[in-house]
Amino acid sequence: MSAISSDEIKREFIRSKMGLAGIGILLILIGVSIVTVITIPIDTFKEWNNPSNWISYPKTSIPVWVNLFQIKKIPEHMIIDEPIEKFQKLGDVSVASHQFMVYFDYDDFPNDFIYEFSAKYTGSPLLQLSVIRPDGIQLQLLSLSLPNSQTQITHDERIFSTDSSIRKNLFLQKEKFSFDIDGLSSEDILFSSSEKHEILKGNYIFLVNVYGVKTQNEILDSRLIVGGKAFGLMGTDDLRRDLAIGLLWGTPLALFIGLAVAIGSVTMGLLYGVYSGFKGKKTDEVMMRFNDIIYVLPALPFLIILAVTIGNSIFLMVGFLMIFGWVGIAKVSRSMALQIKIKGYVEASKMMGQKNSRIILRHIVPQLLPYALASVAISVPAAITTEAGLSFLGLGDPTFPTWGQILHDASVYGAAPRGLWWWIVPPGIMIAITGLAFVFIGNAFDTIVNPKLRRP
Amino acid sequence: MTLKKYVATRAITMFGVLMVTLLVTILLVGSNMDTILKQGLVFQVRAEITENPAIAKSFSSIAEFEAFVQNQIDQRTKALGLDTPWYSPQRIGFTMYKMLMLDFGRATFLTSDSGSSDVKDILLEKLPRTILLFTTATIIISIIGIFLGAFSGSKSGSKIDRLTSIFAVVSSSFPVWWVGMLMIFLFAFVYPIFPARATPSISSSDPGYIVALLYHMALPLITIVMIGFGSWAYLVRNFIIGIMQEDFITAKKTMGINRKKVVYSHALKNAAPPIITILALSLSGSLGGAIITEAVFDWPGMGRLYFEAITVMDLPVIIGSTFVLTIFFLVSVFIADLLYAFFDPRMRTD
C-alpha cells in the first residue's frame, strides 16, 4: 500500500473515462431523486398501496410514447378535469352546464368512459348527459334526477359507461346508425361512425346539464375520464398505479439503501479491521475468528429468516444488509493496518504516549481512506441488488415502491406471460444503471488505488 | 504450522461456525416454532377424536370431555418436552443434537413429490436438482471465464480485452432473476422455444423424466451462464495481468518461448490457486443465490423449496434447508482453504 495523495487520486480519476461516466450517471440519478422529491408530492408515494388513490387511472396500460412507433394509434387515457362552465337562468329554471372537449384521433375504441361529479343543490335537480359527435349527431346518454333533499347538500357520484340506462338510451336512438348496434358496448356505439362500425375520429363534446327549478345549483367538481389503453410515460400496472411515479420514487430509495448500507458496512469493517490489526495478539485472534464466523454464514438464507422473523421495514433491512457487508472489508483493512503499524511514525506516536484511538484515527485510518472510498462504491450495487432480490421474493418493505417491489408485483400478477414488458423492463434497467454507476466509480478508484491493476 | 495442524484448526472452526449458525437459526425462529408445534398438537388430538366418535360418546358431560381433551394435550406436550420454554438449554441442546443427526422432523405443510412430509426426504429430493443446475452452470461459467479471461488478460488493452471488461461490468450489474424474467418473457412467450415453468409436468417416476428435466433446465442454465461468465473472465484477466508483469514471465518471453505457451501454461498455472479457491467458493455461493433464481424459473430445487417454506412459514423446512445450505457453504469454504493451502508453497514448507 503506497500512500497516494488525494490530489493525485483526483487527477487520475478525472483522466479515467469509466470513472467520469460513473460520476455522470450518478449525478443524473441524484438529479432525478431531487426532482422527484420536490415535484411529486410525498402523499402519492405513501398512497402507493391505496387502490382508491389510483381509481381514475387505467389498468395495465402501455406507455404513451409507444404510439410514436405505431401506425395504428392506441387510444390514450384521457382525464379531463377542466370543463368549460356555463350558467343560465330562464325564468324559474336554472341550468348549470359543463362541456368537455374530447379530441379523439386513435385507431381503436376507448375502453370506457366515466363521468365523476359532485354537485351542490337543494330539491331534486335533473342531470342530463349528452354527446355532440364530430358528424353533428347529438346522442342523449342519460337523464338522472339527483336524490331529493330539502336542505342544501353536496352529492358525489360516478357515472360509468356500463350504466344500463345509458345503453337503453342509446338503443332508443338506434335509427341514427345504419348498422345493428345490438350487443355493442356504449363506448363502441358512441365513438363509431354512423354508417358502419368503425372509429369516427374528431372532436367530441360531452355536455352535462343540471336543471333546477327555483333553486340555485352548482357543479363543484366535474371530471370526464375516457378510458384508453395507453397512459403516462411508463404505463400503469394491474392495480392502475402510475409506474412512472413508482420508478421515480424508487431512485432516491435505491440510492438511500445502497449508500447507507455501503457507508455503514465499510465504516464498521474499517474500524473493526484496523482495531484488530493494531491491537494484535489475543484481541486480533478473537476478533478474526468472529469475523470468520460471519464470513461463512450463508447471507441470503439468513437475510430471509431475519426479514421474516424480525421485520421488514426499510431501515431494519439496511441494518441486516450491513451485518453481512462489513466482513471482507475488515479482513483487508486488518492486513493494511498490520503493514502501517510497524511504520516509524506510528511507533513514534506510540512512544510519545498517544492514545490508541488517536493513533488509529489520526495515523492509520486516513491512509486507508482511498481504499475505503473504492469499497463504498463497489459495495453499493450488491446492496441494491440484494434489497431488490428480497423485495422481489416479497420480503421487502411493502409501503415503499422500490424497484424490487415493483418487480415483485409484476411477477405476482404474471406480467411476463401477459406480455406486459413495460412493467418488467424499466425497473431492472434502473437497478442495473444505478449499479453500473457505482461499479464504474469503484473500478476507476480501484485501478488508481491498487497498483497491480495499473497498466505498465 | 504444518498442513495437518492447519487442517485440524480449520475443521474445528468450521464445526464451531456450524453450531453458531444452528443456534442463531433456532433462536430466530424458536418462539414461532414452539407456537406452531403446540397448535399442531391440539389439532392432532382433536382430529383423532373426531375420527373416532366412540371416544366422544363415552363421556356424560361436556366439561368431562373437555377435561379429557386437555389432559391428552398436556400429556403429549410433556412427552415431546414442549412444557419447558423453547429457550431452555435442554430443548435447544436437544434440537441441535437432532439437527446434527440430520433429523429435521416433519414439515408442517410441504411435502416431497412422492408425498412424504419428512423434511429429510424433501431435502434429499430437492438437493440433487439444485446441484445439477448450479454445478453445471458454475462449471460452464468457469471454463468460458478462464479461457476468455486468460486470452484477454494476455492481450491487455486490445479490443477483445475491452469488450470483455465492459461485458463483465455490465452483465454483473443486472440481477440474474430479472434477466430470468426477461428470458422467460422472450423465449417462453414471445418466441415459445422453452417452457416457462422449469418444473417438468410429468411425474418423476416416468422414464422420460430426466430428458424433460434437462429440457426444462435449458433456459435457467443459459441465463445463469450468460450473466455469470463475464465477471469470471474479468477476474481471471486481472490475475493474468498481474502475473504477466512478473519477472519470470518476462524472462520466459525473452527466452523465446511461444507466447501462447507462456500464457496458458505458465501464467495460468500461477494464477491457479486463487482461481481454484474462488471456484470452490462460487460453487457454494451459487447455492445460496439459487433461492431467487429458482423462484423465478420455478426450478424444483432447494431454492424454491426455501422460498415456498418462507411463504407458508413451514419452520422445520426452513431450519432444515438453512442447515443444509450452511453445511454446503462450510464444506466448500473448507475445501477452498485446503486447496489454497495445498497450492501455496509457503504452507507446505516445514
> Tens digit of pLDDT for each residue in B87-109?
777 778 877 888 788 777 777 77
Residue B62 has pLDDT above 60, yes or no: yes
Report pLDDT digits (tens) over B2-40: 677 778 887 887 888 788 878 887 787 777 777 777 777
Q: What is the mean pLDDT of residues B335-341?
A: 76
Residue A188 has pLDDT above 80, yes or no: yes
Q: What percent of chain A has pLDDT over 90?
A: 14
Q: Which residue is closest to B33 within chain A, CA to CA?
A: A309
Residue A456 has pLDDT above 60, yes or no: no
* pLDDT given for residue A450 in this prediction: 67
With an 8 Å Cβ cutoff, are B185 and A432 in contact? no
| CA separation for the pair A314, B201 (Å, rounded) | 39
Question: Among B173, B176, B319, which would you mutate to test the A interface (most chain A Cβ atoms within 10 Å of its Cβ)?
Answer: B173
* pLDDT given for residue A452 in this prediction: 53
With an 8 Å Cβ cutoff, are B242 and A388 in contact? no
**Which of A191-205, A265-279, A340-354 is predicted least confidently?**
A340-354
Pairing of strands A138-145, A84-90: unpaired
Q: Distance, in angstroms, between A86 CA and closest chain B CA?
A: 52
User: Which part of chain A is CATH 1.10.3720.10?
Assistant: 6-48+241-453
Report pLDDT digits (tens) over A34-48: 998 888 877 776 788
* pLDDT given for residue A269 in this prediction: 92
Residue A184 has pLDDT above 60, yes or no: yes
What H or E segment, with its residue span, contains residue B72?
helix B62-79
Please answer whether residues A436 and A22 qualify as being in contact, where contact means their C-beta atoms are separated by less than 8 angstroms: yes
* pLDDT given for residue A434 in this prediction: 93
Please answer whether residues A403 and A247 qualify as being in contact, where contact means their C-beta atoms are separated by less than 8 angstroms: yes
Report pLDDT digits (tens) over A100-132: 888 888 888 888 888 888 888 888 888 888 888
Closest partner CB to A289 (pick from B13, B29, B156): B13
Report pLDDT digits (tens) over A227-249: 888 888 888 888 888 888 889 88
Tell the burial category of B264 from Cβ atoms under 10 Å away from its Cβ (0-12, 13-18, 19+): middle
Q: Distance, in angstroms, between B75 CA and closest chain A CA?
A: 30
Residue A317 has pLDDT above 80, yes or no: yes
Closest partner CB to A432 (pick from B156, B174, B185): B174
Which residue has cell 501462447? B260
Question: Among B35, B171, B178, B335, which would you mutate to test the A interface (most chain A Cβ atoms within 10 Å of its Cβ)?
Answer: B178
Q: Which residue is closest to B307 within chain A, CA to CA?
A: A393
Please answer whether residues A334 and A288 qualify as being in contact, where contact means their C-beta atoms are separated by less than 8 angstroms: yes
SS3 at position A220? strand
| CA separation for the pair A129, B64 (Å, rounded) | 71
Instruction: Report ipTM for this prediction.
Output: 0.81
Closest partner CB to B289 (pick from A297, A300, A411): A300
Closest partner CB to B333 (pick from A296, A309, A417): A296
| CA separation for the pair A427, A433 (Å, rounded) | 10
* pLDDT given for residue B204 in this prediction: 66
Residue A28 has pLDDT above 90, yes or no: yes
| CA separation for the pair A370, A19 (Å, rounded) | 14
**Architecture of the domain whose range is A6-48+241-453:** Orthogonal Bundle (1.10)
Among A139-148, A278-287, A383-392, the range with the most confident prediction by mean pLDDT is A383-392
The residue with greater pLDDT, A63 or B157, is A63
* pLDDT given for residue A108 in this prediction: 86
With an 8 Å Cβ cutoff, are A306 and B306 in contact? no
Number of C-beta neighbours around residue A283 at 10 A: 13
Q: Distance, in angstroms, between A326 CA and closest chain B CA?
A: 17
**Which of A95-99, A202-206, B329-333 is predicted least confidently?**
B329-333
Q: What is the mean pLDDT of residues A355-381?
A: 84
Q: Distance, in angstroms, between B63 CA and closest chain A CA?
A: 38
Residue A3 has pLDDT above 70, yes or no: no
With an 8 Å Cβ cutoff, are A302 and B156 in contact? no
Q: What is the mean pLDDT of residues B173-197?
A: 85
Q: What is the mean pLDDT of residues A21-50?
A: 86
pLDDT, chain A, mean:
85
Contacts of A410 in chain B (CB under 8 A): 181
Contacts of A300 in chain B (CB under 8 A): 288-289, 291-292
| CA separation for the pair B328, B323 (Å, rounded) | 9
Contacts of A444 in chain B (CB under 8 A): none
Please answer whether residues B288 and B329 qualify as being in contact, where contact means their C-beta atoms are separated by less than 8 angstroms: yes
Contacts of B190 in chain A (CB under 8 A): 419
Closest partner CB to A299 (pick from B20, B196, B288): B288
Reported confidence tier of residue A258, pLDDT bands at 50, 70, 90: very high
Reported confidence tier of residue B347, pLDDT bands at 50, 70, 90: low
Q: What is the mean pLDDT of residues A164-172?
A: 86
Among A8-12, B52-56, B221-225, the range with the most confident prediction by mean pLDDT is B221-225
Q: What is the mean pLDDT of residues A247-269?
A: 92
The residue with greater pLDDT, B78 or A20, is A20
Reported confidence tier of residue A268, pLDDT bands at 50, 70, 90: very high
Residue B66 has pLDDT above 90, yes or no: no
* pLDDT given for residue A159 in this prediction: 87
* pLDDT given for residue B348 in this prediction: 53
* pLDDT given for residue B345 in this prediction: 62
Q: Which residue is closest to B188 within chain A, CA to CA?
A: A417
C-alpha cell at B88: 431452555
Ordered domains of chain B (ranges, CATH): 3-100 (no CATH), 119-348 (1.10.3720.10)
Which residue has cell 471482507? A328
* pLDDT given for residue A308 in this prediction: 80
- A65-227 in CATH: which number? 2.60.120
C-alpha cell at A416: 411476463
Reported confidence tier of residue A267, pLDDT bands at 50, 70, 90: very high
Contacts of B179 in chain A (CB under 8 A): 428
Report the 3 state secondary structure along A206-219.
EEEEEEEECCCCEE
Reported confidence tier of residue A25, pLDDT bands at 50, 70, 90: very high
* pLDDT given for residue A451 in this prediction: 57
| CA separation for the pair A59, A51 (Å, rounded) | 11
Please answer whether residues B327 and B335 qualify as being in contact, where contact means their C-beta atoms are separated by less than 8 angstroms: no
Contacts of A298 in chain B (CB under 8 A): 21, 287-288, 322, 325-326, 329
* pLDDT given for residue A1 in this prediction: 44
With an 8 Å Cβ cutoff, are A393 and B318 in contact? no
Contacts of B313 in chain A (CB under 8 A): 308
* pLDDT given for residue A263 in this prediction: 94
With an 8 Å Cβ cutoff, are A309 and B238 in contact? no
User: Which part of chain A is CATH 2.60.120?
Assistant: 65-227
Closest partner CB to B329 (pick from A296, A432, A455): A296
- Among residues A26, A11, A15, the alpha carbon closest in space to that of A441 is found at A26
* pLDDT given for residue B322 in this prediction: 82
